[in-house]
Chain A
């Protein structure tokens, strides 16, 4: 009597066609738009920094700040502690300034260059008044500059400032001066220092005391020019008892060269305020041979004051290389930090991403839910730090890292760092690694679904806890993005 049926169940869908399709998925935003663009010659020197500052007509103090950052950057070295394999970057071959030739920031859609409008239509981000999403204000950034910000007037009525960073420097210099670099200092790390020296534009958002921002704020980043880097800077300040939900989306054309994107995002959440920051990152990931794609080296950090809450949610499906650790400094007592992440690496993509939760205040709590999906030759690393300082009385952290493998050439890695200096603090860490089982696919197929639909459903289910954190429109978009990658049916 032999039971061979058990042997018939290969537990892992290592080479099933649906998983293989991931590698072939086309990138639907890979087009480029022929815009008349003002591009600075490649190269980085003090002169470049001065040029950018002059182009933007910046006050002297900001130029000094940039130069200080540049001087610091020159003495720094690229981080070498990641699991990433990065081809050497020649910082002198990059152009640090590219701007579509038009009046940089507009208040009326009618003034937007039709080519730019068409580009955003193609991206599914309508900038025409009549087509705009009624509850989302958009700041559209192409290459180095913001081209338009929608709903400014409506927001102004509530006292909310939402504009490009450049505008904010001109119109609200005192707010910028107070907060710029207050969460991510210029010499924080190599890429943050570089950004501080050469950042071109970005979004600024200010929510006054007690105001609940009446709509979602969103920035849409688009790299269009060749051989340019994108270095944007986002600053969000939420005053006491305020609330804001902020979304960012990113795409780039399909090109054979790697392009550098080194952004800095700083969040300041004052007492009892709440900032919810969501990202759907879909930069061009490179082709199936690992040629081209965006290097996405981003520093994101928030400071939460007393009873404040900062929540990061990210869905990272694009970029050749992702290096980012959206973090929260839990400074005030009872402040809350959250990090929800889905990172998908396929083709030859690499991601080294996670978070840092720095508990300073008493009774602070943080939770981390990370879902890594690896397919084809993708390499996915979760790297996270939970630090309980001596003052963090009764602080708590819960971390859950789940990895899903969809192939035999891919990899998933989990690197948690835990430092506890207060004996009353509690830290929990759970990790799992799984595969989409042949049995799961078979079960779905027996119920009538084709293999691609089944795969998409299973992977989306794996990400559910994170998608639930996204605002509705973004959740739908994220789910679609994941399914599209899985189907390989676009293009």
Chain B
């Protein structure tokens, strides 16, 4: 479904992604792990289409060339990114923001617009998923939200946007254990045969709750190792030191995805 081939990304003279290859099949959950500065977030932004990078290589989603598209077109094509630092938009209420977002992609796809009352029903169901109170819809987008609320809001948005590909960038950062559980169960309930996910994380902790089909280790702009979820456990015990030194001998080599 998602095909990434020899993806490079640089800012000015600094190359961040140095030829990244990845294939994600329909319904699969892939975890990307790696040390700080390895290019994890850049990878997420490269998929979502953030300005400011020079991008090379190939990225297709269901055969369509993502790299040719502006961010909003990628959203309409089904790409959703859960932000590591969700952005505050003072004065714009969450409900209005979410409905505008949903109707924007529907318009691009030539689908019917959703009215306020139908939307409210859908939104309330989605909110139950992430255990949000109803006043949440009428607060300004992320403004004055706690760290946990912001992350739950990202999952709520994902539930409403129903993406084909969800890229969750460090969704676990800054969460206490209760919030982590809520966020993870939200994500799990959104898994499905037509939806693929890329879960980016620094720590293995999240993967106790969201069990990935595959784990990839990203170091210095490249995937240096892929395996099943046991790879994450190995990383927890041994850290990234071995990979940073490109000394991969004692890591278990299992299940490299096609």
Chain A positions within 8 Å of B, measured between CB atoms, are: 1-5, 7-10, 437-440, 442-451, 453, 457-458, 460-465
Q: Assuming the A-B contacts A442-B51, A449-B104, A457-B97, are A4 and B91 also in contact, with contact meaning beta carbons closer than 8 angstroms in the complex?
A: no
Q: Assuming the A-B contacts A443-B83, A453-B100, are A462 and B42 also in contact, with contact meaning beta carbons closer than 8 angstroms in the complex?
A: no
Contact call B72/A440, Cβ cutoff below 8 A: no
In the complex, the 9 A-B pairs of residues with the closest C-beta atoms, listed nearest first = A461-B91, A464-B91, A461-B92, A447-B101, A448-B105, A448-B75, A443-B87, A445-B71, A448-B104
Contact call A437/B87, Cβ cutoff below 8 A: yes
A385 to B16, CA, bound (A): 53
Interface of chain A: mostly helix, strand, loop or mixed: helix
* A449, chain B: closest CB distance, angstroms: 5
A464 to B16, CA, bound (A): 40
Contact call B91/A465, Cβ cutoff below 8 A: yes
Taking a contact as CB atoms closer than 8 A, the residue among A443, A445, A458, A462 that contacts B70 in the complex is A445
Beyond known contacts A2-B14, A443-B83: 15 more, CB 8 A cutoff: A1-B244, A5-B42, A7-B11, A9-B52, A443-B89, A444-B97, A444-B101, A445-B71, A446-B74, A447-B104, A448-B161, A453-B104, A458-B92, A462-B91, A463-B91
A185 to B210, CA, bound (A): 73
A-binding segment of B33-41, B60-68, B184-192: B33-41
> Which of A3, A445, A447: most chain B CB closer than 10 A?
A447
The answer to whether the Cβ of B29 comes within 8 Å of any Cβ in the partner chain is no
Residues of B within 8 A of A444 (CB): 89, 97, 101
The answer to whether the Cβ of B19 comes within 8 Å of any Cβ in the partner chain is no
Residues of A within 8 A of B11 (CB): 4, 7-8
Chain A: CB-nearest residue to B106:
A448
* B170, chain A: closest CB distance, angstroms: 11
A440 to B143, CA, bound (A): 12
The answer to whether the Cβ of B232 comes within 8 Å of any Cβ in the partner chain is no
* A84, chain B: closest CB distance, angstroms: 29
Residues of B within 8 A of A463 (CB): 91
| Interface residue range, chain B | 35 or more
Taking a contact as CB atoms closer than 8 A, the residue among B71, B89, B157 that contacts A440 in the complex is B89
Contact call B16/A449, Cβ cutoff below 8 A: no
Q: Assuming the A-B contacts A5-B41, A439-B87, are A447 and B92 also in contact, with contact meaning beta carbons closer than 8 angstroms in the complex?
A: no
Contact call A447/B161, Cβ cutoff below 8 A: yes
Contact call A450/B72, Cβ cutoff below 8 A: yes
A443 to B91, CA, bound (A): 15
Instruction: Report the tally of A-B residue pairs with Cβ distances under 8 A.
Output: 106
Chain A: CB-nearest residue to B42:
A5
Chain A: CB-nearest residue to B76:
A448
A460 to B105, CA, bound (A): 21
Contact with A along B16-55 (1 / 0, CB 8 A): 1000000000000000000111100110010011111100
Chain A: CB-nearest residue to B13:
A4
> Which of A442, A448, A453: most chain B CB closer than 10 A?
A448
Residues of A within 8 A of B38 (CB): 1
Contact with A along B90-108 (1 / 0, CB 8 A): 1110001100111011001
A442 to B108, CA, bound (A): 17
The answer to whether the Cβ of B173 comes within 8 Å of any Cβ in the partner chain is no
Residues of A within 8 A of B90 (CB): 461-462, 464
Residues of A within 8 A of B102 (CB): 448
Chain B: CB-nearest residue to A443:
B87
The answer to whether the Cβ of B58 comes within 8 Å of any Cβ in the partner chain is no
Residues of A within 8 A of B53 (CB): 8
The answer to whether the Cβ of B56 comes within 8 Å of any Cβ in the partner chain is no
Residues of A within 8 A of B157 (CB): 447
Contact call B37/A458, Cβ cutoff below 8 A: no
Residues of B within 8 A of A461 (CB): 89-92, 140-141
Chain B: CB-nearest residue to A445:
B71
Contact call B36/A1, Cβ cutoff below 8 A: yes
Give 28 CB contacts A-B under 8 Å: A1-B38, A4-B14, A5-B41, A8-B11, A437-B87, A439-B87, A442-B51, A443-B83, A443-B86, A444-B97, A445-B72, A446-B48, A446-B74, A446-B80, A447-B157, A447-B161, A448-B72, A448-B101, A448-B102, A448-B161, A449-B72, A450-B72, A457-B100, A461-B89, A461-B90, A461-B92, A461-B140, A464-B90
> Which of A2, A5, A450: most chain B CB closer than 10 A?
A5
Contact call A1/B101, Cβ cutoff below 8 A: no
The answer to whether the Cβ of B159 comes within 8 Å of any Cβ in the partner chain is no
* B39, chain A: closest CB distance, angstroms: 8
A68 to B92, CA, bound (A): 51
* B44, chain A: closest CB distance, angstroms: 10
Chain A: CB-nearest residue to B219:
A1
